[in-house]
Chain A
Amino acid sequence: MKLSRRDLLKAGAFAGAATALPLQRMVSGIDAFSRRMPASKLPTPYSVPFARPKSATPVMSTANKDYFRIDMRATQLEILPGYKTVTYAYNGQVPGPVIRVNQGREAIVRHTNMLPKVHDRLAYEPWTSVHLHGSASLPQYDGYASDITRPGESKDYRYPNFQPARTLWYHDHGVHHTAQNAYQGLVAMYIMSDPLEQALNLPSGEYDVPLHIGDAMFERDGNLLFTLDDASGMWGDVFLVNGRPWPNMQVKRRKYRFRVLNNCISRSLDYRLSNNAPFHVIATDGGLTSEPLEVTHIRHAGAERYEVVIDFSNYTVGTKLQLLNTSPQNNRDYPNMDRIMQFEVTGESFTTLDNNLPPVLNPSSPVMALQESQAVATRAFRFRRIGGAWTINGTTWADVVSSNYQFTLADPLKDSVEIWSLENPSGGWFHPVHIHLVDFQILDRNGAPPQPWERGPKDVVYVGEGEIVRVIMKFEGRGRYMMHCHNLVHEDHDMMGQFNVVDPAQAGDDPMGTLAKPIAQMGPLVP
């Protein structure tokens, strides 16, 4: 080379300018992980007391409607003892307040986005869209990903509550930022009851316990660390049960009903009691099973709900039982991710009035009565990674957006029964597949019967590595609804599409037809 020192200096001015900015971008990406709080600073498992999410109080109740107001705000909470963490909270709580409703009463919830205009660390605009997961809401109230509420805006959601009793949950579904928003705390339960359930006299009140299981990773200063691991998922190194790290729960010597929701962004669980004692599944995503299903463990993916009854009556006072996790394949594990929480049996007195586990629960669930012979169509959906994108049948939500929300993956007729085959050809990851609007019955997995705990009405199914899961459902309702992977990082990197339930007599409502408004333009919540 014949470059003089002066030439080199001049070329160096260009070389430095061209590489400095990208280099800084790359280093800050790698650097995120190095800010992780060391394991030695995390609390010892079972040292933090258990807590339950508070319930929401209706603003007003009329003869057949309940009105609620939920504000989303950046809120500082103590999650790890001694540290402050900025969360995104529904009404100041993580998980958010439990909304409790009865079948037959409509609920109207005003969701207001009071989040900052830009997330201070992740540099994105936290627009939101609230999905009530498990509800057959109209399309415009279903939390359609692109129907966003931007900071400073508000939207009234209407929930019909005509379905059978179940554990639902509401969580963020805003396009491309669902994972970040839900990770920072925009998740909460919504519990609907009905006369059939009430007549069963199942454990109630303090013995009916919401159990959010989530995971998180923290920075040294106590704030949440969000990493994407090549868009495979967000994998935490701390289990949070109802927002508490590996808590210890004191239980009395009787039966408890736990409503277990895996609200991890990506992680799936396979949990059991430390003594391998059996327990009973009494409900799945869509409500009660026909009878209690005895299991010793549950493989539980994100967004699935399993309600279980655990009986502590045979344990002596002082017994400690742990809820342990054997991580299913393709999760990223860290120390202590093999334990979730602890139950400590106490001698306190209790009521025996609702200390029941009836042998029959809901023997006449319509979805569980569906027969393969009723199906008028069978469709296949392949969940695959192509290049860097997560796709369904080779398409993504970008295809829906660029078609002005017209592109669909399927167009089932209203009130028709179909069989959908959900396929994951990869050995490198699993997909919890969620179909909005419907409850479905799992027919089989790779030709074998569904797992013992899956034999109830479902709306999310674990589609594991190399699995083909067939589900059957009836499309009641009309209009366009989403279907997607519930690994929220996959969903955001676009493993989401929509189907249109077609009613020849009447067009479905437009999911983009009732948009959020600036707060100042909102009328009174209660007319």
Chain B
Amino acid sequence: MTAVVERPTHAGRAVRSTSMDVAIALAALAAIAHLVEAPYHFQWWPASGITFVVIGLLQAAFALSLLRSEPSPRLIQVGIWGTVGVVLLYLVSRTIGIPFSPGVPVHGAKLLPGMPLLPDGDKQVGPVDMLTLVAEVALVVVLLGQLPRRARRRTANGLMWCGLSIWGLAILGALT
């Protein structure tokens, strides 16, 4: 664990910790990945393309607000749980699939539930996916360290329960 390194910014405003720099970089990375991937997803299913744009813009806005000023604990909480939401959405998309996403109509345009429109396209995990996912998970951990003590403990507990639930569902075979 590193010590808190504080240094003056060139504007002479408030000081920003290294951890906060890392958080900004991680949020920006996730934002760029979502925006770059959006057009491809739009082609498959417009709703997913729009979701990518929205997520990307929110992540960019979050990175910017961290850059501007010392974030309030409340903003950090928003960052943590927003990012957790994105991570969970991704997990659902790679496992049980997003509800209402298009399938392959067969036999007179009836839908085969759970069949992706693009073969093996939707449940594959590529290097970009993995990089983004790791960045988001790291962002959550870094942001956690920025919270005041009490809030930090509560949030850590929340994250733990969230993680245990995922493990539980995976063990029960609900996430395949």
Which residues of A are at the interface with B, using a C-beta cutoff of 8 A? 1-3, 6-23, 25-26, 29, 124-125, 127, 146, 148, 150, 175-177, 228, 386-389, 398, 401-402, 404-405, 492-494, 512, 515
> For residue A20, which residue of chain B has the nearest CB?
B170
B121 and A3 form a contact (CB under 8 A): no
1/0 per residue B121-142: CB within 8 Å of A?
Answer: 1011111011001100110111
Return B41 CB to nearest CB of chain A, in Å: 9
> When chains A and B are docked, how far (Å) is the Cα of A371 from the Cα of B130?
56
Chain B residues, Cβ within 8 Å of A9: 160
B40 and A387 form a contact (CB under 8 A): yes
Chain B residues, Cβ within 8 Å of A25: 94, 123-125
Return A388 CB to nearest CB of chain B, in Å: 5
B19 and A146 form a contact (CB under 8 A): no
Of B19, B107, B121, the residue contacting A515 (CB under 8 A) is: B107
B125 and A10 form a contact (CB under 8 A): no
B156 and A18 form a contact (CB under 8 A): no
B152 at the interface (CB under 8 A from A): yes
> When chains A and B are docked, how far (Å) is the Cα of A512 from the Cα of B118?
21
B162 at the interface (CB under 8 A from A): yes
A175 and B104 form a contact (CB under 8 A): yes
Chain B residues, Cβ within 8 Å of A15: 137-138, 140-141, 163
> For residue A29, which residue of chain B has the nearest CB?
B124
Chain B residues, Cβ within 8 Å of A18: 87-88, 91, 133, 137, 163, 166
How many B residues, CB 8 Å from partner?
58
A14 and B163 form a contact (CB under 8 A): yes
Which residues of B are at the interface with A, using a C-beta cutoff of 8 A? 1-2, 4, 19, 39-40, 43-44, 84, 87-88, 90-91, 94-95, 102, 104-109, 115, 117-121, 123-127, 129-130, 133-134, 137-138, 140-142, 144-145, 149, 152-153, 156-157, 159-160, 162-164, 166-167, 170, 175
A19 and B104 form a contact (CB under 8 A): no
Known: A14-B137, A493-B119. 16 other contacts (CB 8 A): A1-B2, A1-B4, A1-B19, A7-B144, A10-B159, A11-B141, A11-B156, A13-B160, A14-B160, A18-B87, A18-B137, A18-B163, A22-B91, A23-B125, A124-B119, A148-B107
B102 and A402 form a contact (CB under 8 A): yes
Chain A residues, Cβ within 8 Å of B164: 13, 17
Chain A residues, Cβ within 8 Å of B121: 388, 493
Of A11, A16, A401, the residue contacting B105 (CB under 8 A) is: A401
> For residue B176, which residue of chain A has the nearest CB?
A21
Chain B residues, Cβ within 8 Å of A29: 124-125
> For residue A25, which residue of chain B has the nearest CB?
B125
List 20 A–B pairs whose Cβ atoms lie within 8 Å, in order of A's numbering.
A2-B149, A7-B153, A10-B159, A10-B163, A12-B163, A13-B163, A14-B84, A14-B140, A14-B159, A15-B163, A18-B163, A18-B166, A125-B115, A148-B107, A175-B104, A228-B120, A388-B121, A401-B104, A493-B121, A512-B109
Of B2, B109, B157, B167, the residue contacting A10 (CB under 8 A) is: B157
Chain B residues, Cβ within 8 Å of A150: 106
Chain A residues, Cβ within 8 Å of B2: 1
B137 and A148 form a contact (CB under 8 A): no
A22 and B40 form a contact (CB under 8 A): no
A387 and B106 form a contact (CB under 8 A): no
Return A406 CB to nearest CB of chain B, in Å: 10
Chain B residues, Cβ within 8 Å of A386: 43
Known contacts A13-B159, A29-B125; A148 and B130 CB within 8 A of each other: no
Return A40 CB to nearest CB of chain B, in Å: 30
Of A14, A21, A176, the residue contacting B175 (CB under 8 A) is: A21
> When chains A and B are docked, how far (Å) is the Cα of A228 from the Cα of B87?
27
Interface centre among B133, B153, B156, B157 (most CB of A within 10 A): B156
A22 and B107 form a contact (CB under 8 A): no
Known contacts A26-B127, A29-B124, A124-B119; A1 and B145 CB within 8 A of each other: yes
User: Which 10 A-B residue pairings sit nearest by Cβ, starting from the closest?
Assistant: A14-B163, A13-B163, A1-B145, A10-B160, A17-B166, A387-B40, A176-B119, A17-B163, A14-B159, A25-B125
A3 and B145 form a contact (CB under 8 A): yes
> When chains A and B are docked, how far (Å) is the Cα of A146 from the Cα of B109?
9
Chain B residues, Cβ within 8 Å of A10: 156-157, 159-160, 163
